[in-house]
Amino acid sequence: MKILVIGSGGREHTLCWKLAQSPRVEKLYCTPGNAGIAGVRCRNGMPVELASAKADDIEGILRLARRERPDLIVVGPEAPLCAGIVDKVDLELGIPCFGPQKRGAELEGSKVFAKSLLRKHGIPTADFTVFSDPEKALTYVREHGGPLVIKADGLAAGKGVIMAKDAAEAEAAVRRTMLDGEFGAAGHKILVEETLVGEEASLLALTDGQTLVLLPSAQDHKRVGDNDAGPNTG
């Protein structure tokens, strides 16, 4: 079978590398891919073919898929998922596409949506307040003081979360996010959250909507420097 993988990072290299080990795969495409992905070969010796459409170029990806007619499309990054690529591929091409539909991708595309869902279902999470009015947000953080976490609602390439240790830092974070437009439309709405203390873990799971299958847990080391020094890397 022919498979098209969307994205260009280490994750997509990993997915291409793993998919290429399947005896069922005759041809892999990756768009836009990278030099390492171009070095992956299927078991029949065929190298991965790179295309030029970027991961957020939905129309370009649809054109590519229409031309090459893959049997399966695997979406790596969140941006095309939140833009509804799975719905569009299904509607316009009828090609199976691995990833959530736009409505499901909202869990990552809107932190306000995700947190509201957590609260509604009583799933433990940091206490939070939602703001869409910058003045109200500024008043709140001034009165509340730090430490606080300021989060842009929308996708900001992992950069939209600011840890503020006191009221002044929190005010600055609100200004950057809501008034200076540092994260664009993603920052029109924000969450102000209590700071949690503890070790972070990543739990990855696969789901078909009914069953949940857990993969082994992992621990990301998000800060750039040793002993968690320096800025978050997204």
Which of residues 46, 62, 93, 107 is near another protein by CB under 8 A? 107
Which residue type sits at 70?
P
Residues from 132 through 151 that contact another protein (CB under 8 A):
none
- Other Cβ atoms closer than 10 A to 8: 20
Nearest to 49 by CA among 66, 32, 73: 32
Burial class (CB in 10 A: 0-12, 13-18, 19+), 81: buried
44 binds another protein (CB under 8 A): no
> Any contact of residue 129 with another protein (CB under 8 A)?
no
- Subset of 160-179 contacting another protein (CB under 8 A): none
Spell 174-212 as b/e; 16+ CB within 10 A means b.
bebbbeeebbeebbebbbbbeeeeeeeeeeeeeeeeeee
How far does the chain reach from its first CA to its final CA, in angstroms?
35
Q: How far is the CB of 123 from another protein (least distance, A)?
A: 6
Q: Which of 62, 118, 163, 172 is close enough to bind another protein by CB under 8 A?
A: 118
Considering only 2, 26, 27, 36, the residue that binds another protein (CB under 8 A) is: 36
Q: Which of 18, 43, 63, 136 binds another protein (CB under 8 A)?
A: 18
Provide the minimum distance between the beta carbon of 142 and another protein in the complex, in angstroms, as a whole number: 25
> From the CB of 131, what's the least distance to another protein, in Å?
18
